[in-house]
């Protein structure tokens, strides 16, 4: 115990990520690890931070992101995440990953909305991983490989049909190679036009690459509206067919006629979870965000434009107002704005609360870092759960809220020695004020740093302070999934 620390955070309320009760303690860090927890009155450090009772917890793991490109753009690019206390992001979701398929022409939507057209330069996962190693972010990255990206690699632009057996085999081989090079699993976006023609059998054939690797199957399901129950069945069927755990992305019951149906979806998921590893992530908002072409506009669902290539000035505008100005239908206006994205106010608060409170849920932002006028979830997800849902509404106690952002996510994704505060774990930490933590990003002003997140550390290095903003410290690493931690 005579060891001098690099950093000691003194007199903190420790929430360790396991869901166990808070306690008063000091936390000591040396290099990239937590070296001591408890009363460290006898220890000294190069830097001492007085927590004065504020909370120290594991840094948050964003279970669902589209940060594939953002993590390559330098440490400060991740201010939207580090300012929320996020220290690890899972990229490659919804079937969209920047590797392993290079694209010389503009990729088909929605791929082009997630990463800029000139960024599709990686011909292997190893090349992507290399770039991340030589050009580190401020946060850690765990990467999935997207089905839509593989489809372009195997099928070119001829995507509105099922893959042939030969094409599915090519996708399987590309996925197998990426997994061998360090990717953590496979994602699909069966809702989206380039993938909705893929039958379940095609997905199973490609997912065969996951068998025995411990990799995960993660999905933006085919239908999150009228046929959401069928989609849950399809998801679990795929996981069972190849023997791997499944994660349902951004679980929701979309469109007004499906509001309240989390009363049906959650019991169905629970029944499967009794004998199969099933998890889901969610974000704390009643609006989704996706390509403007993804859903037919309807008058009972408000739509705000987030981006438009032909009409950049439309960002932030209401789609129906714009259509009225142009003297066209909302559908025609959406078509004119494409390629572009929008926010769709299509969920019910009761479902958000029921899904968030469920023991199998994790928190994931699903934020779109490229949008001019992004959905506020990009900057606000984690503080919103802590402030609005835990503190103000009392939906979950703080220990449980933190668990869903840390330990639970680390166990589901097989991330070793993170998401928990204990001696020997990596020093991914966040210091926050439970009384004041609050998201400030709104639908009208979405790019706003949260209140109450005091400081964020990744691998022992400070990457954000509320006082000074993002540091330029490239502290993040590419993480590999550890299959041994599968049980859970
Ligand atoms: Zn999605
Ligand atoms: Cu997504």
| Residue 139 belongs to a domain | yes
Burial of 314 (0-12, 13-18, 19+ CB in 10 A): buried
Same domain for 63 and 104? yes
| Residue 427 belongs to a domain | no
Domain CATH for 302:
3.30.1490.130
The alpha carbon of 449 and the centre of ligand 1 are apart by a number of angstroms equal to 24
Which of 314, 342, 370 is the last residue before a domain boundary?
342
Strand partners for 366: none
- Phi and psi (nearest 5°) for 181? -90, 5
The alpha carbon of 366 and the centre of ligand 2 are apart by a number of angstroms equal to 5
**Torsion angle (degrees, nearest 10) of CA 216, 220, 222, 227:** 110
- d(CA 151, CA 294) in angstroms, rounded, equals 19
- Phi and psi (nearest 5°) for 344? -115, 115
Strand partners for 304: 318, 343
- d(CA 224, CA 222) in angstroms, rounded, equals 7
- Phi and psi (nearest 5°) for 55? -85, 135
The alpha carbon of 385 and the centre of ligand 1 are apart by a number of angstroms equal to 20
Burial of 443 (0-12, 13-18, 19+ CB in 10 A): middle
Q: What is the DSSP letter of 230?
A: H
Q: Which residues lie near ion ligand 2 (Cβ < 5 Å)?
A: 93-94, 366
The alpha carbon of 251 and the centre of ligand 1 are apart by a number of angstroms equal to 9
Same domain for 398 and 306? no
The beta-carbon contacts of 126-135 under 8 Å, at least 24 apart in sequence, are 126/181, 126/182, 127/99, 127/100, 128/98, 128/99, 128/100, 129/181, 129/182, 129/478, 131/72, 132/71, 132/72, 132/478, 133/478, 135/72, 135/74, 135/474
By the 8 A CB rule, do 406 and 419 touch?
yes
Strand partners for 33: 30, 426
The alpha carbon of 93 and the centre of ligand 1 are apart by a number of angstroms equal to 7
Which of 418, 446, 479 is the last residue before a domain boundary?
418
Taking each helix axis from N to C terminus, what angle separates 228-242 and 200-207, rounded to the nearest 10 degrees?
30
Ligand nearest to the CA of residue 221, numbered in listed order: 1
Same domain for 124 and 51? no
- Phi and psi (nearest 5°) for 53? 85, -5
The alpha carbon of 234 and the centre of ligand 1 are apart by a number of angstroms equal to 16
By the 8 A CB rule, do 280 and 247 touch?
yes
The alpha carbon of 71 and the centre of ligand 1 are apart by a number of angstroms equal to 19
The alpha carbon dihedral of 431, 435, 439, 445 has a sign of negative
Ligand nearest to the CA of residue 64, numbered in listed order: 2
Same domain for 365 and 382? yes
179, two tokens: 């997994």
> Which residue reads 């840094």 in tokens?
59
Nearest one of 443, 445, 116, 152 to 309, comparing CA atoms: 116
Domain CATH for 255:
3.20.20.140
Query: Do strands 469-470 and 461-465 pair parallel, antiparallel, or not at all (unpaired)?
Result: antiparallel
Ligand nearest to the CA of residue 189, numbered in listed order: 1
Domain CATH for 447:
2.30.40.10
Ligand nearest to the CA of residue 190, numbered in listed order: 1
3 state DSSP class of 105: coil
3 state DSSP class of 146: strand
Same domain for 209 and 224? yes
User: Where on the phi/psi map is residue 460: left (φ > 0), alpha (ψ -120 to 50), or beta?
Assistant: left
The DSSP H or E segment spanning 278 is strand 278-282
- d(CA 227, CA 21) in angstroms, rounded, equals 39
Which of 308, 342, 376 is the last residue before a domain boundary?
342
| Residue 33 belongs to a domain | yes
Ligand nearest to the CA of residue 365, numbered in listed order: 2
- d(CA 285, CA 364) in angstroms, rounded, equals 11
Angle at 93 between CA 92 and CA 98, to 5 degrees: 30
- d(CA 484, CA 15) in angstroms, rounded, equals 25
The alpha carbon of 3 and the centre of ligand 2 are apart by a number of angstroms equal to 44
The alpha carbon of 367 and the centre of ligand 2 are apart by a number of angstroms equal to 7
Look at the chain and report how many structural domains it folds into.
3
Same domain for 383 and 248? yes
| Residue 323 belongs to a domain | yes
Q: What per-residue confidence (pLDDT) applies to 178?
A: 98
The alpha carbon of 365 and the centre of ligand 2 are apart by a number of angstroms equal to 8
The alpha carbon of 320 and the centre of ligand 1 are apart by a number of angstroms equal to 24
Range of the domain at 22: 4-57+433-470
Ligand nearest to the CA of residue 252, numbered in listed order: 1
Same domain for 27 and 103? no
| Residue 425 belongs to a domain | no
The alpha carbon of 193 and the centre of ligand 2 are apart by a number of angstroms equal to 15
Which residues have CB under 8 Å from 323's CB, separation 6+?
329, 330, 332, 333
Nearest one of 93, 76, 41, 22 to 365, comparing CA atoms: 93
| Residue 71 belongs to a domain | yes
The alpha carbon of 95 and the centre of ligand 1 are apart by a number of angstroms equal to 8
Ligand nearest to the CA of residue 367, numbered in listed order: 2
The alpha carbon of 7 and the centre of ligand 1 are apart by a number of angstroms equal to 39
The alpha carbon of 94 and the centre of ligand 1 are apart by a number of angstroms equal to 4
Same domain for 240 and 105? yes
Same domain for 48 and 160? no
| Residue 398 belongs to a domain | yes
Same domain for 278 and 157? yes
3 state DSSP class of 299: coil
Same domain for 136 and 238? yes
Instruction: Tell me, letter by letter, the H, E, C secondary structure of 458-469.
Output: ECCEEEEECCCE
Q: What per-residue confidence (pLDDT) applies to 487?
A: 40
The alpha carbon of 288 and the centre of ligand 2 are apart by a number of angstroms equal to 10
Q: What is the pLDDT along the chain (488 residues), one digit of tens a residue?
A: 557 999 999 999 999 999 999 999 999 999 999 999 999 999 999 999 999 999 999 999 999 999 999 999 999 999 999 999 999 999 999 999 999 999 999 999 889 888 999 999 999 999 999 999 999 999 999 999 999 999 999 999 999 999 999 999 999 999 999 999 999 999 999 999 999 999 999 999 999 999 999 899 999 999 999 999 999 999 999 999 999 999 999 999 999 999 999 999 999 999 999 999 999 999 999 999 988 988 889 999 999 999 999 999 999 999 999 999 999 999 999 999 999 999 999 999 999 999 999 999 999 999 999 888 899 999 999 999 999 999 999 999 999 999 999 999 999 999 999 999 999 999 999 999 999 999 999 999 999 999 999 999 999 999 999 999 999 999 999 999 986 444 43
pTM score over 0.85? yes
| Residue 482 belongs to a domain | no
- Total count of residues recorded for the chain: 488
The DSSP H or E segment spanning 328 is none
Same domain for 11 and 53? yes
By the 8 A CB rule, do 304 and 318 touch?
yes
The alpha carbon of 325 and the centre of ligand 2 are apart by a number of angstroms equal to 31
């Amino acid at each position: 115990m005579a060891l001098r620390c690099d950093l000691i955070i003194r007199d903190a309320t420790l929430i360790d990520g396991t869901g166990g009760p808070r306690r008063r303690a000091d936390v000591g860090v040396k290099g990239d690890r937590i070296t001591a927890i408890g009363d460290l009155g006898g220890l000294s450090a190069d830097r001492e931070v007085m927590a004065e009772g504020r909370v120290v917890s594991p840094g948050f793991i964003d279970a669902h992101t589209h940060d594939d490109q953002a993590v390559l753009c330098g440490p400060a690019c991740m201010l939207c995440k580090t300012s929320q206390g996020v220290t690890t992001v899972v990229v490659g979701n919804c079937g969209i990953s920047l590797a392993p398929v290079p694209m010389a022409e503009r990729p088909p939507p929605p791929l082009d909305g997630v990463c800029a057209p000139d960024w599709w330069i990686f011909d292997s996962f190893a090349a992507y991983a290399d770039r991340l190693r030589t050009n580190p972010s401020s946060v850690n990255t765990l990467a999935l490989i997207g089905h839509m990206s593989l489809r372009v690699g195997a099928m070119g632009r001829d995507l509105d049909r099922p893959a042939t057996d030969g094409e599915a085999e090519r996708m399987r081989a590309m996925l197998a190679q990426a997994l061998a090079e360090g990717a953590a699993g496979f994602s699909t976006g069966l809702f989206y036009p380039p993938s909705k023609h893929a039958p379940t059998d095609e997905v199973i054939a490609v997912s065969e690459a996951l068998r025995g690797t411990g990799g995960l199957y993660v999905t933006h399901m085919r239908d999150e509206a009228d046929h959401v129950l069928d989609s849950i069945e399809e998801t679990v069927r795929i996981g069972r067919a190849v023997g791997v755990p499944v994660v349902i992305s951004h679980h929701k019951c979309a469109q007004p006629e499906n509001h309240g149906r989390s009363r049906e979806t959650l019991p169905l998921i629970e029944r499967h979870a009794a004998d199969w590893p099933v998890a889901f992530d969610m974000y704390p908002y009643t609006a989704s965000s996706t390509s403007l072409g993804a859903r037919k506009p309807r008058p009972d669902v408000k739509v705000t434009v987030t981006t438009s290539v032909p009409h950049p000035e439309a960002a932030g505008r209401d789609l129906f107002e714009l259509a009225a100005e142009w003297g066209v239908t909302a559908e025609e206006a959406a078509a004119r704005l494409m390629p572009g994205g929008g926010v769709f106010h299509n969920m019910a608060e009761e479902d958000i609360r029921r899904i968030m409170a469920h023991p199998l849920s994790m928190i994931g932002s699903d934020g779109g870092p490229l949008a001019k006028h992004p959905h506020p979830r990009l900057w606000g997800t984690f503080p919103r759960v802590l402030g609005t849902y835990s503190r103000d509404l009392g939906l979950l106690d703080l220990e449980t809220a933190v668990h869903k952002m840390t330990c639970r996510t680390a166990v589901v994704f097989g991330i070793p020695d993170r998401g928990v505060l204990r001696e020997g774990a990596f020093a991914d930490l966040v210091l926050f004020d439970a009384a004041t933590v609050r998201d400030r990003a709104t639908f009208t002003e979405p790019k706003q740093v949260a209140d109450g997140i005091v400081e964020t550390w990744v691998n022992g290095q400070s990457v954000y302070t509320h006082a000074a903003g993002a540091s330029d410290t490239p502290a993040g690493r590419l993480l590999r999934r550890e299959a041994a931690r599968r049980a859970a």
